[in-house]
Amino acid sequence: MKSTEKRSDCPISSSLDIFGDRWSLLIVRDLMLHKTRTYGDFAKSAEKIATNILANRLQVLEDNGIIIKLPYPDNKVKGLYQLSQKGVDLIPALIEIALWGDRYVSNTEESSPFLKEVKKNKTKFLKNIMDKLSANDDAPN
């Protein structure tokens, strides 16, 4: 695993060096909500990530152990991405960012379906989703 060059020893700064751009946490979000995804799935997301940026972000997340790339069944060219345990451990922080955004910056009155579930019972939601994603993690922590 390649390590990302740190700007400082501050844990927030070091974390942002890995996933502090505008795309990486959206990749984690998609893997959280959909378990596994292909490159093409990410390219079709509503946010319209450019393919060169997508390829770079997937590589950075893989190099830093946040995601793993698995072989796609019956296709040697395609890859299937999923969260590693390290990526699954990001989910509580991602949920807090989503709740903050829903409260302070969302332009709609209606929360997304997953946030509705979070708001009903955040502890239960986190346990269920993290258990589900961790159960299929084949990568080391």
What pTM value is reported for the model? 0.86
pLDDT at residue 139 tops 50:
no
C-alpha distance from residue 95 to each of 16, 34, 44, 54, 62 (Å): 17, 15, 23, 22, 21
Domain positions in the chain are: 11-135
Question: Which tens digit of pLDDT belongs to each residue from 9-44?
Answer: 899 999 999 999 999 999 999 999 987 799 999 999
pLDDT at residue 124 tops 60:
yes
How is domain 11-135 classified at the architecture level of CATH? Orthogonal Bundle (1.10)
pLDDT value for 108: 77
Question: Which tens digit of pLDDT belongs to each residue from 91-113?
Answer: 999 999 999 999 999 877 777 88
